[in-house]
Amino acid sequence: MCGIIGYIGDKPANEIIFEGLLRLEYRGYDSAGIAVLDNGKIHVKKDLGKLSHLKELLLTDFGSHSPQGIGHTRWATHGRPSAFNAHPHGDSAGTLMVAHNGIIENYMKLKNRLIQSGCVFSSQTDSEVLAHLISINYSGNLEEAVLKALSEVEGAYAIAVIHKNHPDRLVCARKESPLILGIGEGENFIASDATAILHHTRNVIFLENLELATVKRDGVEIFDLSGNRVEKHIKQLDWNPVAAEKNGFPDFMLKEIYEQPQVIRNTIGGRTSEEEGKIYLTELGLSGPDIFKFQRIVIIGCGTAYYAGCVGKYLIESLVKMPVECDLASEFRYRNPLVDSHTLVIAISQSGETADTLAAVKEARKKGAKVLGVVNAKESSLTREVDGLVYIHAGPEIGVASTKAYTAMLTSLTLLALLLGKIRLTLTPEFVSEQIRALKILPQQIETILANHEQIKELAQTFMNSKNFLYLGRGFNFPTAMEGALKLKEISYIHAEAYAAGEMKHGPIALIDKDMPVFVIATNSSTYDKLISNIQEVNARSGTVIALCSEGDNEIYNHAHHKISVPNVSEILSPILNVVPLQLFAYYAANMKGLNVDQPRNLAKSVTVE
């Protein structure tokens, strides 16, 4: 995720900003920049690379006595990592500079209109649109210009603005992406999160959604986007810097579970056109003829990434009507895989550094297959080994147990399946529009599940001392059962096994007794009735069933001892929603056992060796 810093006071702005950007490095980035206002002139310096390499550039002969400026660390979404795509971005005349975190979903439409009105763009980013939009709306009042510009913007943003005619202020605003104000003595700050300013001040104001602030040396004023003044109370944070990185959560895993609504918004970002029923995956690197040439698809990955691939198999087979095989990378690499130039291999990896996955990709390419990477970490090894990419935009995932990366992988695979289906003519624009609409509702549906966390916590308390667990699912949610079992295993150390529910009668049902709790994923699906039968099979043998079901399902009460309901969603999107209660269940069980959920025993975040 990008990081934003703003400063106005009486110290050299570039030094304060550089220090603040260093404290935001944990958010992950590929380029950085600072803009300062010095005697009516804006100075901007930015480049590709890490701050340690940019120190010289950003801290020397650079309007260095200017007490006002903004800075940014960029996690690339639109436009590859580069100096010209780095923030801050300015308007053509260099009258103002903007730093932005988020995704402007309608940026293409706005950019085309701005170009036609004479704006000259210097980057491939969606963010630069904001600089030109504010500029053409400016007629002396900076706040008004920002409000008018934002009224045309769709998507998520946290922005900080400086203008050469306004040496007395910074202006900032937010929608979805977080932004806070730091209140000092004769100086004030803007930051993406408290980590960047805690060592200056613990007095903060959390900007709420759809609010704008004017930040001056001697005070701040806050408005809603209609321009009405909003009164705010200053909060005093007692966080230490590490706690600030967790944004107030007790650990990274819970923070990342709660980040999922925003992550899915970021993953979808500016990649869809609902009205046209179109998907844009600009870094795909595969042409239409390439995609028509493929006769089959093989998906590879490890652990959670492999389970995401298993959902991908169901998605692509049902939407694109192509045969899909899903294999563990550690198996694929040694089995002399039967792939060739007519095979598309999709390699999924959060870190992009997993040794088995990298080796499997090399093996596939050696045999002539094209390889598409579904990856989170920009500039990782995997991104240099593939023919095309779909970034999942989950932001840095610190917790060893993967959560937000998994739902971002599933969202990315859904976008990919929709795109492939459009290209291979198995999907109509109307169907794609409907799926885009449904995808955009998922974040608020996940928020509904998160709001129900107390019920899940109570269930975890009931079962935290179990020695074994079974997870059962069918179809799209068989991989959900596998991922749920993995979460419980890897952070609570309770043995958990996932089975295709139809498989129970072929042996595993012998395991059922009162000490074997069974999670059954029984949300609305084409196999719902079969799942009810499976629940009855477990009940008949004194098993205990926790059913994951859809809101409004009263039938399930007749069969399950416990139920967790989730909002209604189509079967193809249900894995994205259904995994969230399973993540929370595993988290609370481990947390109540006093275990380290962020660094479970024996595990590493990225397995870079065999």
Q: Is 330 in the site for ligand AGP (CB under 6 A)?
A: no
Q: Is 599 in the site for ligand AGP (CB under 6 A)?
A: no
CB of 347 closer than 8 Å to CB of 387: no
Q: How far is the CB of 376 from ligand AGP (least distance, A)?
A: 8
CB of 571 closer than 8 Å to CB of 435: no
Name the segment binding ligand AGP (CB under 6 A); options: 187-195, 365-373, 398-406, 569-577. Answer: 398-406
Q: Is 485 in the site for ligand AGP (CB under 6 A)?
A: no
CB of 158 closer than 8 Å to CB of 192: yes
* Residues near ligand AGP (CB under 6 A), total: 15
Q: How far is the CB of 113 from ligand AGP (least distance, A)?
A: 40
Of residues 357 through 396, those in contact with ligand AGP by CB under 6 A are 357
CB of 305 closer than 8 Å to CB of 392: no
Tokens of 460: 């975890």
Q: Is 401 in the site for ligand AGP (CB under 6 A)?
A: yes
Q: Is 539 in the site for ligand AGP (CB under 6 A)?
A: no
* Binding residue for ligand AGP, selected from 106, 455, 466, 606, defined by CB under 6 A: 606
Long-range contacts of 119-125 (CB under 8 A, 24+ apart): 119/91, 119/92, 120/92, 122/84, 122/89, 123/79, 123/84, 123/85, 123/89, 124/78, 124/79, 124/80, 124/84, 124/85, 125/78, 125/79, 125/85, 125/87, 125/89
* Binding residue for ligand AGP, selected from 59, 136, 595, 607, defined by CB under 6 A: 607
The catalytic residues are: 2, 605
Q: How far is the CB of 523 from ligand AGP (least distance, A)?
A: 22
Q: Is 305 in the site for ligand AGP (CB under 6 A)?
A: yes
Comparing every residue's Cβ against ligand AGP, the nearest one is 303
The contact pattern for ligand AGP, residues 489-518, with x = CB under 6 A and - = no contact, is: -x----------------------------
* Binding residue for ligand AGP, selected from 402, 414, 523, 578, defined by CB under 6 A: 402
Q: Is 207 in the site for ligand AGP (CB under 6 A)?
A: no
CB of 322 closer than 8 Å to CB of 292: no
Q: Which of 530, 531, 511, 512 is nearest to 521 (CA)?
A: 531
Q: Is 583 in the site for ligand AGP (CB under 6 A)?
A: no
Instruction: Classify 121 as helix, strand or coil.
Output: coil
Closest to ligand AGP by CB, 354 vs 435, is: 354
The contact pattern for ligand AGP, residues 334-353, with x = CB under 6 A and - = no contact, is: ---------------xxx--
CB of 462 closer than 8 Å to CB of 560: no
CA dihedral for 453, 457, 459, 460, sign (positive or negative): positive
Of residues 55 through 84, those in contact with ligand AGP by CB under 6 A are none
Measure the CA–CA gap between 295 and 459, rounded to whole angstroms.
Answer: 46
Contacts of 454 (CB under 8 A, 6+ apart): none
Q: How far is the CB of 431 from ligand AGP (least distance, A)?
A: 30
The contact pattern for ligand AGP, residues 444-483, with x = CB under 6 A and - = no contact, is: ----------------------------------------
* Binding residue for ligand AGP, selected from 16, 315, 400, 501, defined by CB under 6 A: 400
Contacts of 245 (CB under 8 A, 6+ apart): 26, 193, 195, 252
- Residues written for the chain: 610
Measure the CA–CA gap between 33 and 128, rounded to whole angstroms.
Answer: 14
Closest to ligand AGP by CB, 217 vs 605, is: 605
Closest to ligand AGP by CB, 159 vs 371, is: 371
Q: How far is the CB of 598 from ligand AGP (least distance, A)?
A: 11
Instruction: Classify 608 as helix, strand or coil.
Output: coil
Closest to ligand AGP by CB, 349 vs 414, is: 349
Closest to ligand AGP by CB, 451 vs 609, is: 609
The DSSP secondary-structure symbol of 513 reads S
Of residues 275 through 304, those in contact with ligand AGP by CB under 6 A are 302-304
275 to each of 188, 312, 414, 431, 437, how far by Cα in Å? 43, 25, 18, 11, 10
Measure the CA–CA gap between 4 and 99, rounded to whole angstroms.
Answer: 7
Measure the CA–CA gap between 586 and 216, rounded to whole angstroms.
Answer: 46
Q: Is 6 in the site for ligand AGP (CB under 6 A)?
A: no
The contact pattern for ligand AGP, residues 232-261, with x = CB under 6 A and - = no contact, is: ------------------------------
CB of 394 closer than 8 Å to CB of 404: yes
Return residues touching ligand AGP (CB under 6 A).
302-305, 349-351, 354, 357, 400-402, 490, 606-607
